[in-house]
């Protein structure tokens, strides 16, 4: 009980810092997820008729996920320096695969008879894509976006090691000051706020899903 | 109402002990108020195909799965070969009964041969006996062992997969086969073939078979006896297909049989069972005037034209006789000749094709025996009014 | 295809590759490996090393760090396999469906757990040392293996299990002869993911005195030596790619024949 009390004391005595760091992490999640969604969905759409290109993009995207986070966060430092840039690039590369994979799977799963009948009604290929395929694939794509967003929350804690800020700052400063007072509280703050943020993002994306899925399609 | 829905067969069964008996069996699934099977008594005779048929959800599968104890009865007893197996080792029991399900359930990571060998292997048969048995079973179910032995299930069509399913169930020579809608997921033409092959197989193997289906036509075709079940696996009627079709026990059975029930009896009766009629017989040598006189004296619109060896060639009517053309060119030829073993259903379809409304019946050497007419079929059907229909 | 049937259910979607190995994976990974190896060679040969850089990048030292990193990752993977697979089997047995469903949901959100924070919390609880690192890594990498074991066992066609039961196979035989072999591709996918997570997280071991190539990267960061950072990062990436390739091969060749 004491631990929890002192943790709340810790939080309430520095709400400004907490909010600022939380917003930094949120900024990463939003920018990374949006950028990765644009790129991944575009790649998924452009390669939809070419099995080789499709497989190749998925394979490359999954290689990025293989590379350890500290390596991927630091590998671009010689080119772009420290801070937001290398962190953003690393998380962007990580976030590609889940969205791309689900875009491909979502587009593949659209019943070919539906596409046939849309063509039969005289829709152009672009109209078929935007009015039929993408809306039907959207629930699956959104599930991929959700995975990427959660992944980004977890990995963004590393950004602090390359001076990128975010909730990892609490963990780093806590570790550095161990075993001084408030060091443990700082570490827990980093971990717990990450999970809280993940939960909040999860709720938001599920709600988005509920309102944006075409009626008649329930994921 | 038929006072005894179990029919006359039960008395016969008492003479020889039944292969399997369910005694007062009840099954209530946990979390469900109503039992799925309630107080069921059922005897299955050795060597028969007993079909359990009834509407979806009436408890057919539950009943079947109680027999090999895939599920445990809430109360009651299961007797197998005179032995109470209600509390025996279920796995040992299952190895003595083949089990075939609609989805087949072949092991996808095992070859066809390995699939068929599962039970023999658990019974520790020697290797060469297993190998010989696998090939024998593949032959028996119409699959070339050299082609299919080492294939994997994904390389089979639905019909082939179920052949292997049956072969696997027969693996360790069980006396009993339990089959739950085995041909239910197979296209109609393949199903028709599998049913026929299976009946042929059974005429050699003489297994005791409990066969579940929701399709009354399949039940009539496959069953030596049929148990028509209603909710909670209550037996509405248990009898031979013919007895059920001609004498349904109550309105439920009538309903379940559907409007085609009377016509279905045609698939069970054979030409040898009915009285053939004899329209005038003429040959090319018979004088036209003579033939015309014979035809006029008879009640028939046609005479049958026979060749020198008494094979039927054509139906001849008054108009043919009046014209000067040769008889066999102008008249209604008889392309299909029926034999006494053919069913009345087949006789009917031949009649409908020839428009003469008659079909000629010949013996094995092709010699004319007599004629079956639409009228004789109609009399047969109306002679046996459906009792329950008036309820 | 690296896409799978569970893809529309995020709760059951492991972060990395899932179950089947794409033909291309086994080509693309080596290609990346070679490209990064060439880059490393070029950096090594053409950069001017000052004294500090030379001493940090001393080959003996790098070799020791690489060994530490791999050792920690392997032990943790072994621990994960030993814990997660039996646990996954246990919760998928009849009678524990509630536990299983809750577990799958929790494991899905576990992706958002910061590995960095977990490592530090383990340090607080167990103190400095290799054992702490192994335990922390195992705790984190447990998630994908446990999840994939559950999903792998659950996705086995129920009619196949039913047929096995109907042939008199007992519960243990059904598990050993049917369920586990058919779950192998999915479980292998989880193990491969866990290995990669472990190799990656072992880079952070330096933070709590666990050694590894993270030391080199951190030194480069602290002393502002970009070449050092790059060499460390490239070495770590090469190790991870090598393990992923081995995992891909294993996934490909340990897959039961007959599965499409
Ligand atoms: N495992 C089960 N748990 C609860 N109820 C079941 C279970 N299996 C079947 N039932 C119920 O028992 C009844 C009979 O089912 P079943 O024997 O499968 O019918 P049928 O094979 O004739 O279609 C149905 O009402 C069904 O919903
Ligand atoms: Mg059923």
CATH number (domain holding residue B371): 3.10.580.10
Alpha helices in chain A (DSSP H): 2-12, 15-46, 51-66, 69-75, 77-80, 84-109, 112-120, 125-127, 134-155, 168-177, 183-212
Burial annotation A119-157 (CB, 10 A radius, 16+ → b, else e) = eeeebeeeebbeebbbebbbbbbbbbbbbbbbbbbbbbb
Q: Whose CA is nearest to atom 23 of ligand 1?
A: B57
Gyration radius of chain C's alpha carbons: 21
| B95 and B216 inside one domain | yes
Cα–Cα distance for residue pair A97/C111, rounded to 1 Å: 15
Residues B256 and B306 in one domain: no
- Percent of chain C past pLDDT 90, that is, above it, reads 65
Beta strands B234-239 and B225-230: pairing type?
A: antiparallel
Tell me if B12 is assigned to some domain.
yes
The residue whose CA has the least distance to atom 27 of ligand 1 is B57
Rounded to whole angstroms, the Cα distance separating A182 from A175 reads 10
Instruction: Kindly report the protein residue whose alpha carbon is nearest to atom 6 of ligand 1.
Output: B29
Task: Kindly report the nearest CA distance between residue A123 and chain C, in angstroms.
Answer: 28
Report d(CA B38, CA B233) in Å as an integer: 7
Pick B120 or B192 by higher pLDDT.
B120
Domain A2-213 in CATH 1.50.40.10:
no
Residue C154 pLDDT greater than 50, yes or no: yes
Which ligand is nearest to the Cα of residue B63, counting in written order?
1
A146 CB near a chain C CB, below 8 Å? yes
Rounded distance, CA C166 to CA A142, Å? 42
pTM of model > 0.90 = no
Domain boundaries, chain A: 2-213
Under the banding of pLDDT at 50, 70 and 90, the label for residue B330 is low
Q: Which domain holds residue B369?
A: 273-379
CA distances to A124, A202, C252 from A116, in Å: 12, 35, 36
**Minimal C-alpha gap between B142 and chain C (Å):** 22
| Average pLDDT for C212-235 | 93
Verify A-C touch: 3 or more CB pairs within 8 A.
yes
Provide the pLDDT for residue C19: 46
Question: How much is the mean pLDDT over chain B?
Answer: 88
In a domain, B391, yes or no: no
Residue B302, domain member (yes or no): yes
Contact call for B122 and C169, based on CB within 8 A: yes
What is the length of chain C?
A: 260
Mean pLDDT score, B258-272: 78
Question: Which chain B residues touch C178 with a CB distance below 8 Å?
Answer: 107
Q: Is the CB of B29 under 6 A from ligand 1?
A: yes
C209 φψ region: left (φ > 0), alpha (ψ -120 to 50), beta (else): left
Choose one of B238, B262, B286: the last residue of a domain: B262
Cβ contacts of B107 on chain C, cutoff 8 Å = 160, 163-164, 177-178
Quick check: A171 and C123 CB within 8 A? Answer: no
Query: Mean pLDDT, to the nearest integer, of A74-79?
Result: 92
Percent of chain A with pLDDT over 70: 97
Does ligand 1 come within 6 angstroms of the Cβ of B62? yes
**pLDDT tens-digit profile of B21-38?**
999 999 999 999 999 999
| Domain end (from B262, B285, B318) | B262
Q: Are residues B303 and B234 in the same domain?
A: no
Ligand 1 pocket test: pick from B31, B38, B59, B216 the residue with the most ligand atoms within 8 Å of its Cβ: B59
Is residue B249 located within the same domain as residue B296? no
For A68, the token pair is 């350890």
Q: Give the alpha-carbon dihedral of B192, B198, B203, B204, to 10 degrees.
A: 140
Number of domains in chain B: 2
User: For A106-123, what is each residue's pLDDT tens digit?
Assistant: 998 888 888 888 888 888
Q: Cis peptide before A179, with omega less than 30 degrees from 0?
A: yes
Specify whether B245 is located in the same domain as B281: no
- Each residue's pLDDT tens digit, B54-96: 999 999 999 999 999 999 999 999 999 999 999 999 999 999 9
Same domain for B238 and B313, yes or no, is no
Answer whether C206's CB lies under 8 Å from C28's CB. no
Q: What is the pLDDT of residues A17-62, one digit of tens each?
A: 999 999 999 999 999 999 999 999 999 999 999 989 999 999 999 9
Q: Are strands B208-213 and B368-373 parallel, antiparallel or unpaired?
A: unpaired
Give the number of beta-carbon pairs within 8 Å between B and C: 76
Looking at the structure, tell me whether residues B108 and B188 fall in a common domain.
yes
In a domain, B87, yes or no: yes
CA contacts within 13 A on the Cβ side of B11: 4
User: Residue B253: its pLDDT value, please?
Assistant: 94
Q: Helix (H) and strand (E) counts for chain B?
A: 18, 16
At residue B143, the pLDDT reads 95
Q: Which of B262, B282, B301 is the last residue of a domain?
A: B262
Please check the confidence at residue C236 and state whether its pLDDT lies above 90.
Answer: yes
Would the pLDDT of C5 be above 50? no
Residues of B in contact with C256 (CB under 8 A): 109
Q: Are residues B210 and B291 in the same domain?
A: no
Tell whether B1 is covered by a domain.
Answer: no
B104 with B187, same domain? yes
Min distance B91 CA to chain C CA atoms (Å): 4
Measured N-to-C along each axis, helices A15-46 and A134-155 cross at an angle, to the nearest 10 degrees, of 140
pLDDT band at C27; cut points 50, 70, 90: very high
Contact C229 A74 (CB under 8 A): yes
Tell me how far apart the alpha carbons of residues C44 and C54 are, in angstroms, rounded to a whole number. Answer: 10
User: Do B177 and B313 share a domain, yes or no?
Assistant: no
Closest listed ligand to the CA of B102: 2
Cα of B161 from ligand 1 centre, angstroms: 26
- Indicate the pLDDT class of residue B263, thresholds 50, 70 and 90: confident
Residue A173 has pLDDT above 90, yes or no: yes
CATH 3.50.50.60 given to domain C14-259: no
Question: What subunits touch chain A, counting only 3 or more CB pairs under 8 A?
Answer: C
Give the residue from B242, B181, B239, B241 showing the smallest Cα distance to B210.
Answer: B181
- Minimum-distance CB partner of B118 among C159, C162, C167: C167
* Ligand 1 lined by B189 (C-beta under 6 Å): no
B and A: touch, per 3+ CB pairs < 8 A?
no
């Amino acid at each position: 009980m004491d631990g929890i009390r002192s943790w709340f004391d810790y939080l309430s005595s520095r709400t400004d810092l907490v909010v600022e760091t939380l917003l930094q992490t949120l900024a990463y999640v939003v920018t990374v997820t949006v950028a990765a969604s644009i790129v991944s969905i575009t790649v998924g759409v452009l390669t939809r008729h070419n099995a080789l290109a499709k497989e190749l993009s998925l394979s490359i995207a999954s290689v990025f996920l293989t590379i350890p986070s500290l390596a991927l966060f630091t590998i671009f430092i010689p080119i772009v320096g420290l801070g937001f840039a290398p962190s953003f690039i690393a998380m962007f590369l990580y976030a590609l695969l889940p969205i791309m994979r689900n875009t491909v799977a979502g587009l593949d799963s659209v019943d070919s008879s539906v596409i046939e009948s849309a063509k039969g009604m005289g829709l152009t290929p672009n109209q078929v894509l935007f009015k039929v395929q993408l809306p039907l694939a959207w629930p699956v794509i959104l599930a991929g976006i959700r995975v990427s967003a959660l992944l980004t929350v977890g990995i963004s804690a590393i950004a602090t090691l390359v001076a990128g800020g975010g909730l990892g700052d609490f963990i780093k400063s806590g570790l550095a000051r161990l075993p001084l007072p408030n060091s443990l509280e700082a570490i827990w703050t980093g971990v717990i706020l990450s999970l809280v943020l993940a939960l909040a993002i999860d709720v938001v994306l599920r709600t988005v899903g509920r309102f944006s899925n075409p009626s008649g399609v329930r994921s | 109402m038929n006072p005894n829905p179990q029919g006359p067969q039960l008395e016969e069964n008492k003479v020889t002990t039944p292969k399997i008996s369910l005694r007062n069996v009840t099954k209530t699934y946990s979390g469900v108020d109503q039992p799925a099977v309630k107080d069921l008594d059922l005897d299955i005779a050795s060597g028969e195909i007993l079909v359990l048929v009834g509407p979806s959800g009436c408890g057919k599968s539950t009943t079947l799965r109680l027999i090999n104890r895939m599920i445990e009865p809430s109360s009651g007893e299961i007797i197998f070969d005179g032995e109470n197996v209600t509390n025996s080792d279920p796995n040992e029991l299952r190895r003595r009964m083949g089990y075939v399900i609609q989805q087949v359930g072949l092991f996808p990571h095992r070859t066809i041969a390995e699939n068929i060998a599962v039970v023999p292997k658990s019974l520790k048969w020697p290797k060469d006996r297993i190998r010989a048995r696998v090939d024998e079973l593949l032959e028996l179910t119409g699959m070339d062992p050299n082609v299919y032995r080492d294939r994997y299930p994904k390389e089979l069509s639905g019909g082939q997969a179920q052949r292997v399913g049956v072969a696997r169930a027969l693996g360790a020579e069980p006396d009993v086969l339990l089959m739950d809608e085995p041909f239910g997921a197979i296209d109609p033409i393949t199903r028709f073939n599998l049913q026929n092959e299976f009946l042929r197989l059974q005429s050699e193997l003489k297994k005791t078979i409990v066969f579940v289906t929701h399709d009354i036509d399949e039940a009539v075709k496959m069953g030596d006896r049929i148990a028509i079940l209603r909710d909670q696996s209550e037996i509405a009627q248990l009898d031979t297909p013919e007895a059920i079709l001609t004498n349904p026990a109550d309105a439920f059975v009538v309903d379940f049989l559907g409007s085609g029930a009377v016509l279905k009896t045609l698939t069970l009766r054979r030409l040898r069972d009915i009285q053939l009629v004899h329209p005038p017989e003429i040959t090319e040598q018979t004088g036209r005037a003579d033939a015309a006189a014979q035809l006029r004296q008879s009640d028939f619109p046609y005479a049958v034209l026979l060749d020198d060896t008494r094979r039927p060639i054509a139906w001849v009517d008054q108009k043919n006789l009046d014209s000067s053309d040769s008889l066999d060119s102008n008249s209604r030829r008889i392309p299909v000749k029926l034999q006494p073993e053919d069913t009345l259903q087949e006789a009917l379809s031949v009649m409908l094709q020839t428009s003469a409304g008659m079909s000629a019946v010949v013996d094995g050497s092709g010699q004319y025996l007599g004629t079956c007419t639409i009228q004789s079929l109609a009399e047969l059907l109306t002679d046996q009014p459906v009792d329950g229909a008036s309820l | 295809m690296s896409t799978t049937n569970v893809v529309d259910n995020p709760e059951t979607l492991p972060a990395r590759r899932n179950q089947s190995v794409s033909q291309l994976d086994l080509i693309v990974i080596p290609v990346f490996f070679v490209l990064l190896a060439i880059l490393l060679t070029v950096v090594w040969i053409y950069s001017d090393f000052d004294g500090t850089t030379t001493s940090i990048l001393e080959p003996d030292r790098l070799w020791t760090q690489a060994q530490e990193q791999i050792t920690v990752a392997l032990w943790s993977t072994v621990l994960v396999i030993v814990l997660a697979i039996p646990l996954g089997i246990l919760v998928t047995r009849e009678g524990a469906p509630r536990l299983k469903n809750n577990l799958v949901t929790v494991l899905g959100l576990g992706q958002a757990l910061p590995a960095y924070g977990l490592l530090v919390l383990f340090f607080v609880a167990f103190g400095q040392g290799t054992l702490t690192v192994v335990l922390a890594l195992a705790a984190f990498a447990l998630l994908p293996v446990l999840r994939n074991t559950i999903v792998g066992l659950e996705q086995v066609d129920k009619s196949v299990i039913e047929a096995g039961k109907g042939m008199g196979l007992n519960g243990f035989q059904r598990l050993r002869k049917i369920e586990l072999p058919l779950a192998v591709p999915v479980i292998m996918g989880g193990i491969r993911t866990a290995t990669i997570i472990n190799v990656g997280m072992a880079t952070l071991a330096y933070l709590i005195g666990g050694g590894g190539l993270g030391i080199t990267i951190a030194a480069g960061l602290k002393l502002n030596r970009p070449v050092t950072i790059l060499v460390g990062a490239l070495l770590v990436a090469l190790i991870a790619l090598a393990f992923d390739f081995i995992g891909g091969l294993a996934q490909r060749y340990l897959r039961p024949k007959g599965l499409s």
